[in-house]
Amino acid sequence: MSDINPIASHEYDASQIQILEGLEAVRKRPGMYIGSTSESGLHHLVYEIVDNAIDEALAGYCNKIEVTIEPGDVICVTDNGRGVPVDIQEQSGKPALEVVYTVLHAGGKFGGGGYKVSGGLHGVGASVVNALSEWLEVNVHKNGNIYQIKFCRGDIIEDMTVIGKTDRTGTCVRFKPDSRIFDTTDFNYETLRVRMREQAFLNAGLHIVTQDLRPNRERRDTMHYEGGIRAFVAYINQNKTPIHDEVIYMSGERNGSAAEVAIQYHDGYNEVLASFANNIHTPEGGMHETGFKSAVTKVINAYAQSANMLKDGEKLTGDDCREGLTAVLSVKLEEPQFEGQTKAKLGNSEIRTLVESVVSEKLSTYFEENPTVARKIIEKALMAARAREAAKKARENVRRKNALEGSTLPGKLADCNERDPALTEIYIVEGDSAGGSAKQGRDSRFQAILPLWGKMLNVEKARADRIYNNDKLTPVITALGAGIGEDFDLSRLRYHKVIIMADADVDGSHIRTLLLTFFFRFMRPLIENGHVYAAQPPLFKLERGKQVRYAFSDEERDRISAEMRGPDGRAKVDISRNKGLGEMDFHELWETTMNPETRILKRITLTDAIQADEIFTVLMGEKVEPRREFIEKNARYVENLDI
pLDDT at 10: 45
Catalytic residues: 430, 503, 505, 507
pLDDT at 1: 40
Q: pTM for the full model? A: 0.73
Ranges under pLDDT 70 in the chain? 1-22, 105-124, 340-343, 398-408, 454-455, 461, 506, 579, 607-613, 616-643
The string over 47-75, giving b where at least 16 C-beta atoms fall within 10 Å of a residue's C-beta and e elsewhere, is bbbbbbbbbbbbbeebbbbbbbbeeebbb
Backbone φ, ψ for residue 530 (5° rounding): 75, 30
- H or E element, residue 24: helix 24-28
The model's pLDDT over 475-489, given as tens digits with 9 standing for 90+, comes to 898 899 998 887 889
CATH code: domain 24-223 is 3.30.565.10
pLDDT at 17: 36
- Compute the distance between CA of residue 574 and CA of residue 560 in angstroms, rounded to an integer: 12
- H or E element, residue 403: helix 371-405
pLDDT at 638: 42
Contact between 449 and 435 (Cβ < 8 Å): yes
pLDDT at 326: 96
- Compute the distance between CA of residue 123 and CA of residue 130 in angstroms, rounded to an integer: 13
Q: Where are the domains of the chain?
A: 24-223, 228-387, 407-537+602-637
pLDDT at 105: 63
CATH class of 407-537+602-637: alpha beta
* Record: fold of 228-387: Ribosomal Protein S5; domain 2 (3.30.230)
Selection from 498, 484, 456, 459 nearest residue 398 by Cα = 484
End-to-end Cα, the chain, rounded Å: 70
- Other CB atoms within 10 A of residue 474 CB: 17
Selection from 358, 195, 334 nearest residue 262 by Cα = 358
Residues 6+ apart with CB under 8 A from 640: 504, 539, 553, 554
- Compute the distance between CA of residue 19 and CA of residue 515 in angstroms, rounded to an integer: 51
pLDDT at 50: 94
**3-state DSSP helix/strand/coil percent for the chain, to nearest 5?**
40, 20, 40
The model's pLDDT over 56-98, given as tens digits with 9 standing for 90+, comes to 888 889 999 999 999 999 999 999 999 999 998 888 888 989 9
